A and B are shown apart, each in its own frame.
Chain A
Amino acid sequence: MSDVAVVGWAQTPSVRLARESEVQLLVPTVAQALARANLDRREIGFTCAGSCDYLTGGPFAFVSNLEAAGAWPPIAESHVEMDGAWAMYEAWVRLQHGDIDTALVFGSGKSSPSQPAEVWAQQLDPYYLAPLGVDPVSLAGIQARALLDAGKATERDFAEVAVRSRHNAVDNPNAQVKGDASVDALLAEPYVRAPLRKHDLPPISDGAVAVVLARGDRARQLCERPAWIRGLDHRIEVHQPGMRDLTASPSTTLAARKAGYDGGPLDVIELSATFSPQELILREALGLDAGANVNPSGGALAANPVMATGLIRIVEVAQRIASGAADRGLAHATGGQVLQHNLVCMLEGE
């Protein structure tokens, strides 16, 4: 494999309601990512974007986002109807050919205009599930119950994940839900979808993220300490929630193994656990011990701009490597509901 590194990045703060349109969130974000990599947009060899028409609010919504990339003169460009982390996957694959050495990737989403519970209910099997209005929070509740019933966790464990996330997010200017809370106080709150309480749920967020990738020596020229992608893989599982074990994430385990994760020490881990029980499932899937440095940014419980959340995890790891604060990290992204599709990216300093 060619050595490809993250050499530029930027993200908007995640907010409950951004007054800017999705493109307006992207334009300065892309500009900042390019500036950090000291690149002009015309030098970019390949561009790939991730977004979701139905989240933005209409067919072909992604077409407007081309304006953020600067599509004049024409550019070599592609788009995935997936989180930006998969857009980065496509760009990373493209860079392996060896004929170009830079790529621009972005992911964006505004959840504020819609009722996410209604939008994502239409993401499920159209014959058996979508007509019932099965919403993501209910599915996460079923998953959480399965975890409790299996004796793998307690509601207190869920709350502890949330408390850590909010605590970590205090130092993250881009996070939305932050502050110190006590586990007991959180557990005194009512259920939203028993056994899940509000703290177990992600916020509804608007936001965007951009990444610049470069290959080999070009990366070294553009960045003092590139965050090298040592491995990148993703795996999808069976869709019907009743046809797989919701308390485990074998696709994460497999993706991590294929991405070269050998169980060795990690300085930083960023997980797209959009519901607190999922952090416990992912920790187990990756074999992380209790002391692992998981989600120093606060993770998806602190900020969840859907379609950007996964790529933000990669940025959070990459920037810690670039700054020298970390040498080796793992970033995880997820797609679909209750951890159906999982991506693992291994990043390292020189």
Chain B
Amino acid sequence: MAERCAIVGVGQTHHKKRRDDVSIPGLLREAALRALEDAECTFADIDAVVIGKAPDAFEGIVQPELFLAEALGGAGKPMLRVHTAGSVGGTTVIVGAHLVQSRIHQRVLAVAWEKQSEGNAQWGLAGGRSRGIGAGGAFAPWIRAYIEQTGAPEYIGWQVAVKDRLNALKNPYAHLHLPDISIEKVKESAMLWDPLRFLESCPSSDGACAVVLTDEAGGKRAPKPAAWIEATAVRSELGVFPGRNPVRPQAGVECAHDVYRQAGISVPRQEIDVAELYVPFSWYEPMWLEGHDIAGPGEGWKMVESGDTEITGSFPVNPSGGVLSSNPIGASGMLRFAEAALQVRGLAGEHQVDGVRTALAQAYGGGAQYFAMGVLRSEPS
């Protein structure tokens, strides 16, 4: 039986297009020091450091954690560097949790980051070559297929785009604060990758996120409420193969079922109070609601349409504003776990959903082929 693990500290940077006031170590420290402050501890209390980010070529530093570990008080400690494409922030939390659940360490600092403005993500996604299609170009055909298969009206994508940006207005750390966002603005924004419009797409951000993970005793004596990690799972599948269904990737289905099973959840839609899902393009909200069996086939967009996924709805999704409002790629997955933790701890401030006891966190990456998911609870089961 594994040790229980809790998140007792959460920190993130103010995410921006370009954080020109900080170095890369400065960016990570901003998030890490906030997480330590939240947990009321210091670097000296940390046993091990786990660092995650997306490809090194985004900043042009090979294995940057080798110079960054000491900025996180890591000298003399174990340090792991995780890289699972866009899901990496989620995987980084999970690897950190494993270090506690295995009873190897009592307190672990997990940090995920990206300083996209140092380089160019479009260049990076294209492998440094011409004819890059960007993430939007890769995902657009699958989104089109979802729309064709379900008959979802086009305004569903606009609705998600507006909802997440309105939520972001309640989140002081979010990159995009667009007070005058509206359906009209979204639908009139430039078509980037048919059917995806500019305002239905995530920004490119500089940012970092950190969490302090600890064991059962640590969670119980934490000065503030703990977020108990009830379940975690990772799944990967090939990116391209005959018969693949990238609209509803099997890895995502199995990953979700794994965490539901571990957390004893049989009806996710009823038993989960809030979800932070990795939605870099608006349509991924209904796609993941279905892809993780929260909604039945063709029912995901109806949850959006009826307002169920709004912050006041019956199944709020991304009250933080989500990836659509802040996207420091390597950190984006960890932000989902961090925001889910804030929700179950009751510490999400203005974007707190009332009475959250169970939260779902999800990150995905690559060609919708890497998944990292977790279920967090306000009380240990």
Contacts and interface: CB of A to CB of B under 8 A. Distances in A.
Interface of A: 1, 52-54, 58-60, 62-63, 66-67, 71-82, 86, 89-90, 93-94, 96-99, 119-120, 122-127, 130, 233-239, 250-251, 254, 335-336, 340-341
Interface in B117-146: 124-125, 127-128
A120 B78 contact: no
B1 interface: yes
Nearest to B252: A74
A59 B125 contact: yes
Contact of A58 (B58, B127, B251): B127
Contacts of A67: 238
A242 to B, nearest CB: 13
A251 B23 CA distance: 27
Contact of B80 (A90, A98, A336): A90
Nearest to A73: B250
A237 B75 contact: yes
A77 B94 CA distance: 12
A86 B85 CA distance: 18
A104 B238 CA distance: 17
17 contacts: A58-B57, A59-B56, A59-B57, A59-B125, A59-B128, A60-B127, A66-B369, A71-B369, A74-B250, A76-B233, A90-B80, A93-B98, A93-B104, A97-B102, A122-B61, A124-B67, A341-B66
Contacts of B2: 96-99
B134 to A, nearest CB: 13
Given A62-B83, A81-B56, A336 B66 contact: yes
Interface in B49-88: 55-67, 69-70, 74-85
Contact of B366 (A52, A60, A76, A254): A60
B261 to A, nearest CB: 11
B13 interface: no
Contact of A76 (B57, B102, B234): B234
B82 A130 contact: no
A235 B76 contact: yes
B91 interface: yes
Contact of A123 (B66, B124, B241, B251): B66
B235 A76 contact: yes
Contacts of B235: 74-77
Contact of A236 (B77, B236, B249): B77
Contacts of A126: 24, 59-61, 64, 67
A63 B239 contact: yes
Interface of B: 1-2, 23-24, 55-67, 69-70, 74-85, 91, 94-95, 98-99, 101-104, 124-125, 127-128, 233-239, 241, 249-251, 254-255, 366, 369
Contacts of A86: 80-81
Contacts of B125: 59
A321 B36 CA distance: 44
Contacts of A77: 234-236
Contacts of B94: 78
Contact of B234 (A78, A81, A119, A250): A78
A52 B124 contact: no
Contacts of B250: 73-74
B260 to A, nearest CB: 15
Given A71-B237, A126-B24, A238 B70 contact: yes
Contacts of A340: 66
B83 A236 contact: no
Which 9 pairs, one residue from A and one from B, show the smallest C-beta to C-beta distance? A59-B55, A96-B102, A74-B251, A123-B62, A77-B236, A74-B237, A59-B57, A97-B2, A81-B83
Nearest to A76: B234
B236 A123 contact: no
Contacts of B255: 74
Contacts of A79: 82-84
Nearest to A258: B78
Nearest to A236: B79
A89 B103 CA distance: 14
A81 B85 CA distance: 11
A120 B78 CA distance: 22
Nearest to A86: B80
B78 A60 contact: no
B70 A73 contact: no
Residue among A52, A81, A124, A126 facing the most chain B CB atoms (10 A cut-off)? A81
A80 B237 contact: no
Contacts of A62: 83
Contact of B78 (A99, A123, A233): A233
Nearest to B92: A78
Given A75-B236, A76-B233, A90-B95, A237 B81 contact: no
B75 A73 contact: no
A236 to B, nearest CB: 4
A196 to B, nearest CB: 22
A341 B79 CA distance: 8
A236 B74 contact: yes
A71 B236 contact: yes
Given A93-B98, A96-B102, A80 B83 contact: yes
B334 to A, nearest CB: 15
Given A73-B250, A254-B76, A82 B67 contact: no
B57 A82 contact: no
A335 B66 contact: yes
A234 B69 CA distance: 13
B254 to A, nearest CB: 5
A202 B120 CA distance: 35
B86 to A, nearest CB: 10
Nearest to A233: B78
A140 B55 CA distance: 27
A192 B102 CA distance: 46
Residue among B58, B78, B127 facing the most chain A CB atoms (10 A cut-off)? B78
Nearest to A336: B66
B67 A72 contact: no
Contacts of A239: 66-67, 69-70
Contacts of B237: 66, 71-75
A93 B62 contact: no
A80 B66 contact: no
A58 B125 CA distance: 10
B371 to A, nearest CB: 8
B270 to A, nearest CB: 26
A66 B78 CA distance: 26
Nearest to A87: B80
